[in-house]
Structure 1
Amino acid sequence: MPRTKAKRRVPVTAIKGRFAYKEAPVPLPPIHISGQEKVAIDTSALGSVALGKMGKTSADTRRRINHFHVLIKQYSKLEAKKRICDGGDSEHISAIDREIDRVSREMAEMGGLDWYQKASLLGQCKQRGGDTSRWLVPKLRELGVDKRQAGPRLRLLDVGALSCMNYAKERKWIDVTPIDLNSQEPGVHQQDFLDIVIGSESAQSKAGYNQQTDEELDDKVDLFNTPFDVVCLSLVVNFIGDPSRRGDMLKQAACVLANDGLLFLVLPLSCVCNSRYLDDDRLQQINQHLGFTELYKHHTAKLAHYLYRLDKGKYRDGTSNSKVTAKGSAPQFKKRLLFSEPGRNNFSIVV
């Protein structure tokens, strides 16, 4: 009896690696770029949305994350053009609006900020690069802050936190306040870093708090009532497309830190080693201008780690809110060409 040809089995990994398109049951949340208005995205016209596509490999996931960064930069540039043209040629403004809508829709089709954060959270696992807090904790121990005399625990503000468990093993001496624009966990507070004002009276007067319950308000006021001992900006400054807003992030760190407080900054290595406008020396000059002294620097194959100490007396922009500084003074460190070789990127920080 002749043998029938067996059907070829498709590997399970191949099935999991395919694009999983399905109808979006609810509209995607608006994309919120730090320091800018929320972008309302109408997803009703979209036939389907790619939800949860993390990538078959770490390289594929990284490629998609990088493309999302490109879209964020395009959006920021278009918003800047629109502000410049405000009150000008209506046809030109309409063309900019159409481009903004196109970029916003593409970000929505990728899954929006929610997808980006889930992909980045996946990148925290050991198989995909690890958690940058694992570099910071040994440095804090070297500085002896884990052996402080009896008193309150070290207050640490984790900006852009994807998980509230990053410092769980150090909870005996570190009091963590994790915040993010689009919280992925109940333990991560939904908060824009640039909106934080230290001091309960200022915090209560801020827009948005008036619609919260007294219990929720008291909780947030307690979180931001006193300066922090450590601020972590791990892979969040590079997420912002506007160089001036990146500078505002560093200014805001100086505003919310206590004197002698520590700033932990992590950037993709390409931002300081392959940029036309920024390198380690330029970054150090910017941070020295803001009152920071570099304590540690470490480069890996993909990331650049920095730990700085703040001297409030050297903070030359010393205001209580970085937004006031951004509007009230001219940049001290403008976008300046440092390297002209082909193949470099355009990452920069303006302060």
Structure 2
Amino acid sequence: MLSRRRKTVTGKLIVERPPAIKPSKARRIIRRFHLLINKRRIICNKIGIKLLEGDESTNSERISEKLRLNDTQSFYDEGWNAQNPSSEYEAQMLKIQRLDDDIQLFRILGYIMSEIHQRGGLQNYQLASSMGQDRNRGGDSSKILMNWFKTIRTPGHQYRALEIGSLSAENAISTSGVFDPVIRIDLNSSDPAKIKRQDFMKRPLPPSDAEKFDLISCSLVLNFVPTPQLRGAMLHRFQHFLRLDVEKTYIFLVLPLPCVSNSRYMSKTLLCDIMEYLGYKQSHAHESSKIIYMLFQRSFGQKVHEEQVVREFSKKVLIRDKANMNNFSIVL
């Protein structure tokens, strides 16, 4: 029987390569997937479905059970079978926070789930994520971090790293030899053997310094956290994962540049002030046309007084207001 595996004329097997995705398209796919996941979370909170982050199998089972108990399968199916994209469903999805009609909520939930599971939303996201981190395409943000570490690392010290939102086990952090171990987590891991499927906010606190880290890398994650309060909680939680038995530990934070350059409620200065209150001093920063990269070193100096936190960091404060600005903010 002839083999169906493709070979060259010399008899060597042809290695199938994944399709290439342009960086601009990869960014659109990633943004779209996070939008769908965020809107699904809001709908499920409204109709009483508890989702598990990164566990699509369980989420599908829980949604199916809810449909059976509420006898709402027909409404869900209307959304599942709707034309995609649908201008009507897209408009309603964007305003989902103000929608309280359960029947329509189930329709939009079906519309979202169809794109995630039937129209390749999850698979496209995983492919776009891995392509975006491809070292050969300049997508690895940790290359900038490693350039900085060349000047600040202590020779002979073996650093430990936690990478939140990891997309590749072959990026500069993992291959530099500086960090051992590198613990990688992501809500929707495309490589569960090397990247653990986990929500950082639910990761158990390490009981000792032996399980803590010299570096936490949080690259293009904070901007996808759904609320300003949860973003603040995430920044605050970092301290519990950093070692106390060494003099210097670090936070590597990567954000879309508009989060600090084109927001009504956030600026680079304000972000640095928030981080300083939490105990970190900025040591390095770099801006590209679309991304800002920041490295913060943990400082054990005196913090800002609590009244300053209440005044400046515990609520959104309008810094500037122009047309086409975004509302990104962080609240402690």
**Same fold per superposition (TM over 0.5):** yes
Which residue in the other structure is 1:335 paired with? 316
What residue number does 2:199 align with?
192
Equivalent position to 1:281, from 269, 281, 296: 269
| Aligned-partner residue type, residue 64 of structure 1 | I
| 1:162 has 2:167 as partner | yes
* Aligned equivalents of 1:330, 1:93: Cα separation in 2: 39
Correspondences of 1:1-351 after superposition (within 5 Å) = 55=21, 57-75=22-40, 78=43, 92=101, 95-96=104-105, 98-126=107-135, 128-145=137-154, 147-148=155-156, 153-166=158-171, 167-171=173-177, 174-185=180-191, 186-200=193-207, 226-259=211-244, 260-311=248-299, 332-351=313-332
Amino acid at match of 2:199: D
Q: Which piece of structure 1 moves more, 109-118 or 296-305?
A: 109-118
* Root-mean-square deviation (Å): 3.4
TM-score normalised by structure 1 residue count: 0.63
Letter in 1 for 2:164: V
Q: Distance in 2 between matches of 1:278 and 1:181?
A: 26
Aligned residues: 256
Distance 1:172 1:127, change over 3 A: closer
Question: In terms of mean alpha carbon deviation, does 102-111 or 60-69 score higher?
Answer: 102-111
Confirm or deny: 8 A CA contact 2:316 2:331 kept in the other structure.
Answer: yes
Residues 132-190 of structure 1: CA deviation (Å, up to 9, x unaligned): 11001121121133x145xxx20111111112222343225543111222322222222
Quick one: distance in 2 between partners of 1:268 and 1:110?
A: 27
Q: Find the aligned partners of 2:39 and 2:273 in 1 and give their Cα distance.
A: 28
Q: CA deviation at 1:53?
A: 8.3
**Post-superposition offset of 1:251:** 1.5
Q: Distance in 1 between matches of 2:149 and 2:143?
A: 11
Indicate if the aligned counterparts of 2:161 and 2:179 stay in contact, CA closer than 8 A.
Answer: no
Q: For residues 100 and 173 of structure 1, what CA distance do their matches in structure 2 show? A: 42
> Does 259-268 or 238-247 show the bigger shift?
238-247
Partner secondary structure for residue 249 of structure 2? strand
Q: What runs of 5+ residues in structure 1 fail to find an aligned partner? A: 1-51, 84-89, 202-223, 318-328
d(CA) in 1 for partners of 2:100, 2:326: 32
CA contact (8 A) 1:331 1:350 kept: no
SS in 2 for 1:120: helix
The equivalent of 1:211 in structure 2 is none
Could you tell me how far apart the structure 1 residues matched to 2:313 and 2:273 are?
11
CA distance, structure 2, for counterparts of residue 112 and residue 66 of structure 1: 11
Q: Structure 1 pair 254/161, CA: closer, same or farther in 2 (3 Å)? A: same
Partners of 2:239 and 2:33 in 1: how far apart?
28
Percent identity between matched residues is 32
Range with greater deviation from structure 2 (74-83 or 341-350):
74-83
Question: How far did residue 66 of structure 1 move?
Answer: 2.6
Q: Which residue of 1 aligns with 2:59?
A: none
Amino acid in the other structure paired with 2:130: L
**Does the aligned pair in 2 maintain the 1:161–1:178 contact within 8 Å?**
yes
Letter in 1 for 2:31: N
**Preserved CA contact (<8 Å) 1:160 1:181:** yes
Distance 1:105 1:225 in 2: 44
Which whole-Å CA distance do the structure 2 matches of 1:241 and 1:110 have between them?
Answer: 24
Q: 1:231 touches 1:253 (CA, 8 Å); kept in 2?
A: yes
Cα 1:66–1:315 shift into 2, 3 Å:
same
The answer to whether the Cα contact below 8 Å between 2:29 and 2:124 also exists between their aligned partners in 1 is no
Tell me the TM-score normalized by structure 2: 0.66
* Residue type of the alignment partner of 1:349: I
